[in-house]
C-alpha cells in the first residue's frame, strides 16, 4: 500500500534524523568531557611540576630542576613533560605568558598545555604537558560506530514494526475499502464492509455501507418509478391506439358493408333452392372469399388495438407503410385524400412492427385531419446521413427515415417546438387529447431514434421519423 510505504518512510526518516542528531550531540558531549578531563589532568600535572621545578631550581639550580622534569617524563610514557624556553607555547604572541597565564593548545593530534614560570636566573620558561589525542579520536570513532549501529538497529526494528502495524491497521482496511468502492462503481451495492477496528478508517467503512444502503433504496425507488412510468406510457400508447381504432371504426363499417351485401345476396340465392350445382359451388366460393376479406379486416384492426409488449425484429419499413395504407384507406377516401408512396427496402431495420405502425398511423391520421378539403399525403421511406440530437450523441451517421407530408394548413412556427409535449394540441376542444405525438415520439426514442416536425415552405407539414440502421438502441 502506498499509504503504508509513506508511513514507513516518514517514521524511518524521523527516527534516522533523531538518531543522527542524538549521535552528534553525544559525540560532541563526549569530546567536551574528554577535553575537560584532559585539561584538568594537565593542570594537576603542570601546576604540580611547576611548583616542584621552582623549589628544586632555588635549592639545586635550574639544571637539577630540568633533570627532575626529565625523570618524570621518562616515568610516564603516555604524557610528555618538558621544561622549555621555546617551542609551540611561545608561537602565539597574543597570549601573555609574561603575566603567568597558562594556555591549552591542540596541534597535530596533540593536546598541549603550557604553564609559564621564571627561574632564579630570571629567564621565562614553561612546563609543557603534551598528550596524544589518538585515544580520544579512537574513543570518538568507537562511540560513533556504536551509536550508528544502535540507530540502524532501531530504524530496522521501527520499519518492521511500522510495516506490520501499517499493513494491519492501514493497508488491509484500505484495500478492502478500495475493493468495495470498485464494486460500488460497477453497480454492486451488496455485501456490507466489516472492519474489526475502532478508528477513522472503520468510520469511513460505516459511512460507505450507509451510502450503499441509501443508493440501494434510491435504486429501488427509481426502478419503481421507472416501472410506473413504463406502465403509464404503455397505457397512454394503448389509449392512443384505441382512439385511432375509434376513428377507423366508421371506415371499417363501410369496408365491411360491401362484402356483407355480397354474402347476403349469395346466401339468398342458395336458400332459394333454384341453383344448379355449379351455381352453388360458385356462391359458396364467393361467400368464403368475402368472409375471408372481412375476417382479415377485423383481425387487422384487433391486432392494432391489442396491447402487446415490445418485440424487436428485422422488419421492412415499406411493409409497415403498406399495412398502414391498407388500414387508413377508407378514412382517406372519405376525406378526399390520396396516398403517394416513395419507399425503398430497409433490410437492416430492427423495430417493433406494431409500435412503428402505431407511430405511422398516428402521423397519417393527423395528416388526413389537416386536409379537410382533401389533397396528397406523401409517405417516403429511405436512408440519409444526418446529425442526431444531443441526447443521442450529436454524431453524424446514416439513419433510416420515414416521413409523412401533407398539404394542409401547416403547424404555426411558434408551435413547432411544443408539438411533442404531452396534452399539447392545435385542434379544437374535444377533437384531440394532445397525447398522440407525445406517444409517437416516446416510441421513436425507445427505438433509439427521434421525430422531427417541420413546416413545409410551400404548404402543409412534414413529420420525419429517424430510426437506427441495425439493432435498436
Which letter, b or e, does each residue of 14-25 get, where b requires 16 or more Cβ atoms within 10 Å of its Cβ? ebeeebeeebee
Mean pLDDT of 412-422: 80
Grid cell of 102 as nine digits = 597558562
For the chain, what are the domain ranges? 2-156, 312-473
Task: Please tell me the distance from the alpha carbon of residue 438 to that of residue 450, in angstroms, as a whole number.
Answer: 11
pLDDT in tens, 132-178: 888 877 887 888 888 888 888 888 888 888 778 777 777 777 777 77
Question: By CB neighbour count within 10 A (0-12 exposed, 13-18 middle, 19+ buried), where does 237 fall?
Answer: buried
Of the pLDDT bands very low, low, confident and very high (cuts 50, 70, 90), residue 380 is very high
Q: Hey, what's the cell of 296?
A: 382479415
pLDDT, one tens digit per residue, over 276-301 is 777 677 777 778 777 876 776 676 56
Query: What is the third-level CATH fold of 2-156?
Result: Beta-Lactamase (3.30.450)
Topology alike, domains 2-156 and 312-473: no
Please check whether residue 448 is in contact with residue 472, taking contact to mean a CB–CB distance below 8 angstroms: yes
Question: Which CATH architecture best describes the domain 312-473?
Answer: 2-Layer Sandwich (3.30)
Q: Three-class SS string for 95-108?
A: CCHHHCCCEEEEEC
Helix (H) or strand (E) holding 241, with range, is helix 200-272
Q: For residue 286, which of 269, 300, 299 has the smallest C-alpha distance?
A: 269
Q: What is the pLDDT of residue 465?
A: 95
Q: Is the dihedral of CA 274, 277, 278, 281 positive or negative?
A: positive
Alpha-carbon torsion (243, 244, 247, 251), positive or negative: negative
* Unique residue bearing C-alpha cell 434510491: 218
Does residue 28 have a pLDDT over 80? yes
pLDDT at position 350, please? Answer: 86
Task: Label residue 355 by pLDDT band (50, 70, 90).
Answer: confident
Amino acid at each position: 500500500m502506498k499509504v503504508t510505504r509513506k508511513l514507513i518512510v516518514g517514521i524511518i526518516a524521523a527516527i534516522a534524523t533523531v538518531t543522527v542528531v542524538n549521535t552528534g550531540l553525544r559525540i560532541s558531549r563526549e569530546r567536551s568531557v574528554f577535553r575537560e578531563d584532559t585539561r584538568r589532568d594537565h593542570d594537576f600535572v603542570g601546576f604540580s611540576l611547576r611548583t616542584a621545578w621552582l623549589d628544586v631550581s632555588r635549592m639545586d639550580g635550574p639544571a637539577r630542576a630540568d633533570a627532575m622534569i626529565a625523570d618524570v617524563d621518562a616515568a610516564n610514557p603516555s604524557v610528555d613533560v618538558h621544561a622549555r624556553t621555546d617551542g609551540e607555547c611561545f608561537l602565539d604572541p597574543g597570549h601573555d605568558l609574561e603575566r603567568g597565564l597558562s594556555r591549552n593548545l591542540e596541534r597535530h593530534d596533540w593536546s598541549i598545555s603550557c604553564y609559564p614560570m621564571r627561574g632564579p636566573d630570571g629567564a621565562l620558561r614553561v612546563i609543557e604537558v603534551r598528550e596524544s589525542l589518538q585515544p580520544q579520536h579512537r574513543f570518538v570513532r568507537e562511540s560513533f560506530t556504536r551509536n550508528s549501529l544502535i540507530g540502524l538497529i532501531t530504524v530496522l526494528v521501527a520499519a518492521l514494526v511500522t510495516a506490520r502495524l501499517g499493513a494491519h491497521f492501514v493497508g488491509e482496511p484500505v484495500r478492502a475499502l478500495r475493493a468495495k468502492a470498485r464494486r460500488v462503481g460497477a453497480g454492486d451495492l451488496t455485501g456490507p464492509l466489516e472492519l474489526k477496528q475502532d478508528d477513522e478508517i472503520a468510520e469511513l467503512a460505516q459511512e460507505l455501507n450507509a451510502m450503499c444502503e441509501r443508493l440501494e433504496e434510491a435504486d429501488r425507488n427509481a426502478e419503481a418509478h421507472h416501472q410506473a412510468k413504463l406502465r403509464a406510457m404503455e397505457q397512454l400508447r394503448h389509449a392512443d391506439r384505441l382512439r385511432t381504432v375509434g376513428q377507423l371504426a366508421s371506415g371499417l363499417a363501410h369496408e365491411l358493408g360491401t362484402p356483407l351485401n355480397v354474402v347476403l345476396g349469395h346466401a339468398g340465392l342458395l336458400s332459394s333452392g333454384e341453383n344448379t350445382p355449379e351455381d352453388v359451388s360458385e356462391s359458396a366460393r364467393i361467400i368464403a372469399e368475402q368472409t375471408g376479406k372481412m375476417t382479415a379486416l377485423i383481425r387487422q384492426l384487433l391486432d392494432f388495438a391489442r396491447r402487446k409488449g415490445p418485440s424487436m425484429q428485422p422488419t421492412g419499413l415499406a411493409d409497415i407503410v403498406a399495412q398502414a395504407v391498407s388500414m387508413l384507406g377508407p378514412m382517406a377516401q372519405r376525406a378526399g385524400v390520396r396516398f403517394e408512396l416513395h419507399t425503398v427496402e430497409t433490410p437492416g431495420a430492427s423495430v417493433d412492427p406494431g409500435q412503428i405502425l402505431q407511430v405511422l398511423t398516428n402521423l397519417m391520421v393527423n395528416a388526413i385531419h389537416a386536409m379537410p378539403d382533401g389533397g396528397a399525403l406523401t409517405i417516403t421511406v429511405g436512408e440519409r446521413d444526418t446529425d442526431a440530437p444531443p441526447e443521442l450523441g450529436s454524431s453524424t451517421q446514416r439513419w433510416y427515415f420515414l416521413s409523412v407530408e401533407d398539404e394542409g394548413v401547416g403547424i404555426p412556427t411558434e408551435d413547432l417546438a411544443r408539438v411533442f409535449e404531452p396534452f399539447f394540441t392545435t385542434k379544437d376542444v374535444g377533437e384531440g387529447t394532445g397525447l398522440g405525438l407525445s406517444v409517437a415520439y416516446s416510441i421513436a426514442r425507445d427505438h433509439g431514434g427521434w421525430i422531427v416536425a417541420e413546416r413545409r415552405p410551400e404548404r402543409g407539414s412534414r413529420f420525419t421519423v429517424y430510426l437506427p440502421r441495425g439493432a435498436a438502441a
